[in-house]
Structure formats: C-alpha cells, structure tokens
Amino acid sequence: MNGVLRSAFVTLAAGGALFVAMSSPAVAADDDTGVVGGSPASGSTCIINIQGAKGCFQPYGDVIWIKDTSLDGYGVYAKWTNQLKNSSGNWQTYRTGKCSNPGSSGDWAACNKDFYESSSTNAYGGKGSRIQVTACVASIGDDECDTSTWISNNG
C-alpha cells in the first residue's frame, strides 16, 4: 500500500494526473453457486424453451432457480438482470448476476437474492423492480441460452 501511495505522490509531484476508476457497486456482478435441492414454488415464472436447462424466478423470497434437464454432461447456469424505475419513471439496470448449478441432471439449484419490491421506493428514488432471467447450457464453444420476458417483482 505504501508503494502505491508513493507512486501516486510522485505522479502528482511531477505534474502528472492521477485518475482513480471506481465501479458503481450498484451494477457490480453478483455471481453465486446455487444450493442444490428443492424446487421453485408455485407462482414462479420459468423459461422452458431451451433444451438442457430450465430457469425460474420466484418473486416470494427473490430466488433464482436453475435446473439441469439433460444427461449431456454440460453444466447449466442462469444469468439475471434486475432493473429499477428511477424517480423519472425510466428503467435502469441496478444489479446483474449469475447462478450456477453445481449439481447434475435432474437437480435444481437456488440462489437467494434480495431485490427491491415493485411497491417500495428503491435506490434510484422510484417505485418499480423487475427481473429478467436467462437460462444457459455451458456447451463447448458458444453457450446456448434463452431469456425470459421482464418479470415484475411483486413478491
């Protein structure tokens, strides 16, 4: 740490500019390995259009689910995006992430998240929260994926 501070001082003393880049924690990736077991509750919205994987969002409890539906030996995961309405009523991406399934064929895995509810005032000063889930099979080469429509988080 002292070496970094010394370098910064030398840069500034020599008339150079020092730029510090920081990413917003609000849009940082949130990648998890899911917990194997259970299954989505009724009222969950699921993607069933992809061969080899099924992804769901369960509003009550804010749970992302991913299931391996094939004996092909490929891993599966769900990517997700959470958008919030700002005070002007426009949607903005707030969080993104990935939920990987460490199990095998037939196993569900769950990643428990904590999203704003649509009815609560959020970090951007508006009301509205929605989630989009993409179920993927980690194939050799390009992964095969399918994405849900936007799902309101009224859980």
pLDDT (tens digit per residue) in 62-117:
999 999 999 999 999 999 999 999 999 999 999 999 999 999 999 999 999 999 99
pLDDT at residue 49 in the model = 87
pTM of the model: 0.80
Angstrom CA distances, 141 to 31, 53, 74, 137, 138, stand at 21, 17, 12, 11, 8
